[in-house]
Amino acid sequence: MNVPSDLLYSTDHEWIRRVENGVEIGITDYAQDALGDVVFVQVPTIGSTISAGDSFGEVESTKSVSDIYAPVSGVVVAVNEALAADPTAVNTDPYGTGWLCIIEPTTASELDPLLDAAAYRALTEG
């Protein structure tokens, strides 16, 4: 299982990368593997305000439909529109072209409860 050390993680299996205009969010390699072949991704609307812990999208696979939970509160400033045409990017490149959205967090402390790579690896292996 791939767990990049430069990312943060939620206990709901989302990854978080700091970027210039906020935090980029996607689902982890662990999550995409558990889902199986992704056939559809619903991302949030740009400009929408979301709260940490709330569902803000869905990933549909050949096995099931799963909610995506916001790891931080804030405003959605970008979405990966390419997923509409190629949802399999979530499987083939979950930490790259399979990103879901960028959120501008309400406060910097929104990132405090997130896990580092070692803690996330322990969560998934334990």
- pLDDT above 90 coverage of the chain, percent: 96
Closest to 51 measured CA to CA, from 31, 73, 66 = 73
pLDDT tens track for 67-103: 999 999 999 999 999 999 999 999 999 999 999 999 9
Model pLDDT for residues 18-45, shown as the tens digit of each residue: 999 899 999 999 999 999 999 999 999 9
As a whole number of angstroms, the distance between CA 123 and CA 40 comes to: 27
**What is the set of domains in the chain, with CATH numbers?**
8-107 (2.40.50.100)
